[in-house]
């Protein structure tokens, strides 16, 4: 057991080795075998990582966290030691990451079967998995920032896998740049925190925060900078647009991105909670950002017609609930939300990816009638929906109930917000299911058979795990005690789920309302469908400001900076042209010129010593002459 605990840090290395071993097939160095061995090698290494994590979990359960330190750099008072924390929470995170990645890779065997970028895709998946596993174990804020940067690069490369498509290139670029904005502020916060706390170790930061007495303004600014990075990673307003555009990437990578990659920012946020709690302004900002994103994302998801984009905004909404949990200091509820969302979201992406794989269109308004042709995908979507909303006894019901019960007495308006978000999510997912699987087959969905076994098997496994997740949590004593939960909140959650699903079914499965469904106010419908015009807001504010500043900078550079340099050059040219006529060949003239130059130079150098007295003397002399 002790060996398993001491060797858990090797788990990220499995994925990294798998990604490196897949590289020779990426540029086609190994041509005889084709690219498929790259995927198999990566799968074997991921399986070893999953097995190692799974066997290590019992050894760490109910045991105090253990610290492992790997010295890297210690100079001039800067200690960059790689700190690793081996605890039941971090090892459980490894099991979730490697388990979902293992299923995503099997899913990719079917989805990417004929794709030319197979080897490069699996190599990047290895990088992704290695970064996520390293982040789960890392106990240093600085190295967590470094790993988040690696994940940003991985997102860019995976989203841009099919770089010959213009929309893919745009999506990869926007995802990278949007995350970089948050990462830049995060770096500022990381560097500013060190002089105050004297450490980047999360455990030591928590101990420091318990007794810290810091300037409120300084800690507020640092805290706001620290939450900017997780805002970008968790696709929170206003850094949420990247997740929607990242849907242009392959579905197997979307499984990871929508389930565990977006949660990477939340993971860092939860570890930083003791520091963030030093500033009420930061905690209020977390709640405000989470509330706006949760409600806004749920509304936007309802108005989307792309089958994958419907899910992307629901992911942002649920990460908003995690922000609310952290902002109200409900860390256990936040971790439970992250876990239940990861499992259900991965199942939903697998189900929708199965539709995308062999359908002509991704427009949900052009699909329909797939229930009879795609029973596995349909059942997976239903179970994923029930696992994501507050529907007992599945996982998210307990996570939402624990969060709402803790807020019932102190902040009841947040409970109302959670109920509304749950109802909107239930309505949105029921709408998507009704449009895709309900009704009669249409022209775009008449020839859409069920997927083959490499894609169906991971769906079935994850479907079963979603159904059994409450039992797993109960056996591990991780479910909140029913006696401590608020029964009224439980009823509100259940009824909001039933209400959302019922309204969605009546509207989109029934014949009462004509299809396609449109709101009576076109302006409101366009406002929701076009993401509250956030892209236009960016163009009118940030893009316009940068454009104006760049033009002003260009003018200053061309006419001021270049003008001064060119003026010096012109003076040199005209000076040379003027001096060439003074070459008389007389030595005494040259000597006089040198003497005059040295004299002028001497006057300039020594002016500070006698210049003021000379000017005063000349002023007195002139005044004396004028007086006569």
What pLDDT band is residue 348 in, cutting at 50, 70 and 90? very high
State the residue for tokens 């952290």: 326
What is the average per-residue pLDDT within 404-419? 89
What is the average per-residue pLDDT within 396-410? 88
Q: What is the pLDDT of residues 501-518, one digit of tens each?
A: 998 888 888 777 766 677
What is the average per-residue pLDDT within 170-196? 86
| Half-sphere exposure in the Cβ direction for 294 (13 Å, CA) | 24
**Contacts for 458 with CB less than 8 Å, ≥ 6 apart:** 103, 104, 106, 107, 350
125 occurs within a structural domain? yes
- HEC string for 329-386: CCHHHHHHHHHHHHHHHHHHHHHHHHHHHCCCCCEHHHCCCCCCCCHHHHHHHHHHHH
What pLDDT band is residue 28 in, cutting at 50, 70 and 90? low
What pLDDT band is residue 325 in, cutting at 50, 70 and 90? very high
In the numeric block, which tokens belong to residue 487?
Answer: 């029964």
Higher pLDDT, 6 or 300: 300
60 occurs within a structural domain? yes
Nearest to 131 by CA among 119, 143, 142: 143
For residue 424, pLDDT over 90 is answered with: yes
Domain count, the chain: 3
Residue 33: what pLDDT? Answer: 66
**Contacts for 43 with CB less than 8 Å, ≥ 6 apart:** 18, 102, 105, 106, 109
What pLDDT band is residue 575 in, cutting at 50, 70 and 90? low
24 occurs within a structural domain? yes
**Residues 601, 571 share a domain:** no
What pLDDT band is residue 47 in, cutting at 50, 70 and 90? very high
- CA–CA separation, 580 vs 268, rounded Å? 71
557 occurs within a structural domain? yes
What pLDDT band is residue 48 in, cutting at 50, 70 and 90? very high
Q: Which has the minimum average pLDDT: 48-57, 95-104, 337-346, 603-612? A: 603-612
Name beta bridge partners: 83.
69
Nearest to 2 by CA among 89, 66, 94, 93: 66
Q: What is the pLDDT of residues 367-384, one digit of tens each?
A: 878 888 888 888 999 999
Distances (CA, A) of 33 to 30, 117, 182, 454, 551: 7, 15, 42, 20, 54
**Residues 60, 131 share a domain:** yes
Residue 331: what pLDDT? Answer: 87
**Residues 88, 14 share a domain:** yes
**Residues 539, 628 share a domain:** no
**Residues 80, 112 share a domain:** yes
Q: Of 139, 154, 187, which residue is a domain's last?
A: 139
Higher pLDDT, 387 or 576: 387
385 occurs within a structural domain? no
What is the share, in percent, of the chain residues with pLDDT greater than 70?
A: 95
**Contacts for 586 with CB less than 8 Å, ≥ 6 apart:** none
Coil, strand or helix: which one is 80? strand
- CA–CA separation, 77 vs 576, rounded Å? 55
Q: Which has the minimum average pLDDT: 152-156, 268-272, 570-574? A: 570-574
- CA–CA separation, 435 vs 433, rounded Å? 6
What is the share, in percent, of the chain residues with pLDDT greater than 90?
A: 17
Range of the domain at 615: 590-628
- List Cβ<8 Å contacts ≥24 apart for 6-9: 6/68, 6/86, 7/52, 7/56, 8/52, 8/53, 8/56, 8/60, 8/86, 8/91, 8/94, 8/137, 9/68, 9/70, 9/84, 9/86, 9/137
Residue 30: what pLDDT? Answer: 59
Coil, strand or helix: which one is 440? coil
Q: Of 113, 139, 165, which residue is a domain's last?
A: 139
Task: Give this prediction's pTM.
Answer: 0.85
Q: Which has the minimum average pLDDT: 15-19, 207-211, 541-545? A: 541-545
**Residues 72, 46 share a domain:** yes
**Residues 103, 48 share a domain:** yes
Residue 628: what pLDDT? Answer: 60
Task: Compute φ and ψ for 522, nearest 5 degrees.
Answer: -60, -35
Residues in the chain: 628
Nearest to 129 by CA among 159, 150, 111: 150
399 occurs within a structural domain? no
**Residues 94, 48 share a domain:** yes
Residue 463: what pLDDT? Answer: 92
For residue 32, pLDDT over 70 is answered with: no
Q: How many Cβ atoms from other residues are within 10 Å of residue 413's Cβ?
A: 9
**Residues 610, 550 share a domain:** no
**Residues 113, 26 share a domain:** yes
Nearest to 124 by CA among 150, 170, 157: 157
Residue 257: what pLDDT? Answer: 86
**Residues 53, 17 share a domain:** yes
105 occurs within a structural domain? yes
**Residues 625, 555 share a domain:** no
Higher pLDDT, 620 or 182: 182
Burial class (CB in 10 A: 0-12, 13-18, 19+), 164: exposed
Give the angle subtended at the CA of 156 by the CAs of 153 and 157, to the nearest 5°: 90
């Amino acid at each position: 057991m002790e060996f398993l605990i001491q060797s858990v840090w090797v788990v990220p290395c499995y994925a990294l080795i798998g990604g490196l071993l897949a590289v020779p097939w990426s540029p086609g160095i190994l041509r005889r075998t084709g690219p498929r061995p790259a995927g198999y090698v990566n799968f074997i290494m991921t399986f070893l990582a999953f097995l190692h994590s799974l066997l290590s979990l019992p050894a760490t359960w109910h045991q105090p966290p253990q610290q492992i330190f790997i010295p890297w750099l210690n100079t001039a008072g800067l200690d960059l030691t790689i700190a690793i924390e081996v605890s039941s929470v971090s090892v459980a995170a490894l099991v979730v990451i490697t388990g979902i990645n293992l299923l995503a890779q099997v899913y990719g065997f079917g989805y990417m079967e004929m794709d030319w970028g197979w080897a490069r895709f699996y190599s990047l998946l290895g990088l992704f998995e290695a970064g996520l596993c390293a982040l789960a174990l890392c106990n240093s804020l600085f190295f967590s920032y470094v790993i988040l940067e690696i994940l940003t690069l991985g997102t860019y490369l995976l989203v841009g896998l099919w770089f010959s498509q213009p929309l893919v290139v745009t999506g990869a670029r926007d995802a990278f740049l949007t995350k970089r904005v948050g990462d830049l502020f995060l770096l500022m916060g990381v560097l500013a925190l060190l002089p105050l706390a004297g450490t980047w170790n999360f455990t030591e930061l928590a101990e420091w925060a318990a007794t810290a007495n810091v300037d409120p303004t300084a800690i507020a600014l640092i805290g706001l900078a620290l939450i900017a990075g997780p805002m970008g990673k968790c696709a929170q307003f206003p850094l949420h647009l990247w997740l929607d555009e990242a849907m242009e990437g392959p579905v197997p990578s979307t499984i990871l991105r929508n389930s565990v990659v977006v949660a990477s920012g939340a993971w860092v946020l939860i570890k930083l909670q003791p520091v963030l709690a030093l500033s009420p302004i930061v905690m209020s900002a977390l709640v405000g950002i989470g509330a706006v994103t949760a409600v806004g994302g749920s509304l936007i998801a309802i108005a989307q017609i792309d089958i994958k984009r419907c899910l992307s905004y629901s992911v942002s909404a649920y990460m908003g609930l995690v922000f609310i949990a952290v902002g109200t200091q409900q860390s256990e509820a936040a971790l439970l939300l992250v876990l239940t969302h990861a499992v259900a979201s991965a199942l939903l992406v697998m189900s929708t990816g199965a539709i995308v794989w062999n359908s002509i269109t991704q427009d949900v308004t052009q699909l329909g009638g797939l229930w009879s042709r795609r029973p596995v995908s349909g059942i997976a979507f239903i179970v994923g929906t029930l696992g994501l909303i507050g529907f007992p006894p599945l996982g998210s019901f307990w996570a939402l109930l624990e969060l709402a019960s803790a807020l019932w007495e102190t902040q009841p308006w947040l409970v109302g917000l959670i109920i509304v978000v749950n109802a909107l999510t239930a309505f949105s997912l029921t709408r998507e299911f009704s449009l895709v699987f309900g009704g009669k087959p249409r022209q775009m969905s008449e020839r859409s058979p069920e997927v083959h076994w490499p894609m169906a098997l991971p769906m079935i496994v994850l479907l079963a795990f979603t159904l059994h997740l409450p039992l797993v949590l109960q056996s591990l004593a991780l479910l909140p005690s029913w006696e401590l939960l608020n029964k009224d909140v439980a009823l509100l959650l259940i009824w909001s789920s039933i209400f959302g699903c019922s309204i969605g079914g009546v509207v989109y499965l029934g014949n009462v309302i004509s299809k396609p469904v449109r709101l009576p106010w076109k302006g409101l419908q366009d406002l929701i469908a076009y993401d509250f015009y956030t892209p236009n807001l960016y163009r009118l504010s940030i893009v316009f400001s940068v454009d104006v500043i760049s033009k002003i900078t260009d003018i200053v550079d061309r006419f001021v900076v270049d003008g001064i340099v060119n003026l010096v050059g012109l003076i040199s040219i005209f000076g040379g042209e003027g001096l060439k006529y003074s070459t008389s060949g007389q030595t005494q003239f040259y000597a006089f010129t040198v003497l005059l130059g040295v004299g002028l130079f001497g006057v300039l150098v020594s002016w500070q010593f006698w210049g003021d007295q000379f000017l005063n003397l000349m002023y007195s002399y002139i005044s004396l002459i004028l007086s006569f």
